[in-house]
């Protein structure tokens, strides 16, 4: 069996930053537990590993003892949650993805300027809940085009749409098209809200899935971006399964499968992908071939609240950043297992995200995010 390994895949810069924030706090602060509001990222293994190290994940700030350390997850929180944490004298460390923070700032600014904000996203998702909290009087959630007739619009000339960062770009464009048809004066956000990593991982599946008989996506069921990867594979006509790890594999999935595509969501650790590949090589004699659909390089500064904590504990954060690229050294890993790997590169210059967020074309043929 041939295994095509999609690249880019796995951790985005925002997820890497959030995990690194908790890692550093565990190193800096000897007291346990450390509290995190909601799952730091939507991945069962990441959460479980932190729990083993003394992290407690809570669904309410009221669960956190006064004066304790509380980390806000990558998905962001509302101003009301921040205020509650302050009222309880909690040491709040903000691990919100900067791209989510951008959407929060847009929602707040447009609401102050008298706009109604139509937020395209999944009602109840942590990110959407946090964004709504910026201006609950001005924001309505649009999950599908079917929601548009039920919107309460005060002034069609004072409308703007924003999007959840982990949506399928294609699905978002369908809704945006319907909004524009209903409200021609609706404003676009100042720049793309859908995360560059979401776009690039979905583009890779859209490009590679048609060449394959089956797609396996490593990620958790509550991960929005991982769910979108599986949905895109099915839309391209290739069956797909979303799995937390290799233990969820079923042998009958591989009947008649000659070519398998493996990818992972933006919150899935790479070691889970390697574990899956190891099983596929051992059990099925798989030959692994990585295909690079786009290249990524993103750098975020450390959160200001973490810098303050580091200085208090004698650590100098000057010049420290969170940087992640899309280079997975899969060839040397396969060589170590005495297996052959054939590196293949695909040059798709119009989609390559070589230095952060890149706008994707608007035609449906490449809208895969």
Tell me which residues are annotated as active site: 127
Closest CA to 176 of 197, 161, 157: 161
H/E stretch holding 330: helix 330-336
Residues β-bridged to residue 35 = 56, 70
Burial class of residue 319, CB neighbours in 10 A (0-12, 13-18, 19+)? exposed
Of 226, 354, 296, 228, the residue nearest 13 (C-alpha): 296
| Chain mean position to CA 130 | 15
Spatial neighbors of 172 by CB under 8 A, at least 6 apart, are 120, 163, 194, 369
Q: Is the peptide bond before 8 cis (omega within 30 degrees of 0)?
A: yes
The first and second tokens of residue 173, run together, are 């464009």
End-to-end CA distance of the chain: 28
The DSSP secondary-structure symbol of 117 reads E
- Tokens linked to 117: 């904000």
The total number of residues written for the chain in this structure? 369
Q: What is the dihedral of CA 249, 41, 266, 193, to 10 degrees?
A: 140
By DSSP bridging, strand 321-325 and strand 297-301 are antiparallel
Read off the tokens for 260.
Answer: 């398998």
> Facing residues of 55 across strands?
34
Q: Are strands 240-243 and 91-94 parallel, antiparallel or unpaired?
A: unpaired
61 three-class SS: helix
DSSP-assigned beta bridge partners for residue 94:
72
What lies within 8 Å, CB to CB, of 279 at 6+ separation is: 246, 249
**Inter-residue contact 127 to 165 (CB < 8 Å):** yes
């Amino acid at each position: 069996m041939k295994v095509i390994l999609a690249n880019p895949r796995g951790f985005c810069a925002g997820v890497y930053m959030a995990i690194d924030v908790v890692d550093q706090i565990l190193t800096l602060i000897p007291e346990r537990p450390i509290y995190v509001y909601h799952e730091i990222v939507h991945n069962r293994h990441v959460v479980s590993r932190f729990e083993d190290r003394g992290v407690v994940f809570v669904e309410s700030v009221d669960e956190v003892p006064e004066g304790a350390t509380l980390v806000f997850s990558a998905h962001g929180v509302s101003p009301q949650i921040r205020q509650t944490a302050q009222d309880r004298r909690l040491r709040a460390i903000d691990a919100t993805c900067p791209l989510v923070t951008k959407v929060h700032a847009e929602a707040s600014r447009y609401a102050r300027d008298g706009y109604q904000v139509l937020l395209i996203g999944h009602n109840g998702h942590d990110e959407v809940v946090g964004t709504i909290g910026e201006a609950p009087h001005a924001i309505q959630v649009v999950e599908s085009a079917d929601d548009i007739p039920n919107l309460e619009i005060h002034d069609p000339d004072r409308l703007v749409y924003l999007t959840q960062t982990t949506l399928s770009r294609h699905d978002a464009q369908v809704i945006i098209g319907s909004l524009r048809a209903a409200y021609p004066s609706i404003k676009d956000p100042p720049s793309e809200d859908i995360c560059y990593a979401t776009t690039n991982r979905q583009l890779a599946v859209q490009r590679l899935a048609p060449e394959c008989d089956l797609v396996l996506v490593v990620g958790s069921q509550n991960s929005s971006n991982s769910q979108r990867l599986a949905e895109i594979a099915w839309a391209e006509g290739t069956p797909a399964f979303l799995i937390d790890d290799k233990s969820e594999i079923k042998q009958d999935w591989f009947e008649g499968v000659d070519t398998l595509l493996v990818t992972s969501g933006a919150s899935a650790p790479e070691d889970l992908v390697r574990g899956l590949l190891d099983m596929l090589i051992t059990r099925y004699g798989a030959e692994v071939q990585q295909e690079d659909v786009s290249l990524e390089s993103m750098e975020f500064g450390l959160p200001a609240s973490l810098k303050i904590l580091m200085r208090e504990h004698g650590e100098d954060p000057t010049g420290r950043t969170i940087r992640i690229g899309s280079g997975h050294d899969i060839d040397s890993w396969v060589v170590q297992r005495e297996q052959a790997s054939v590196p293949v590169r695909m040059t798709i210059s119009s989609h390559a995200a070589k230095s952060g967020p890149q706008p994707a074309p608007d035609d449906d043929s490449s809208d895969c995010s």
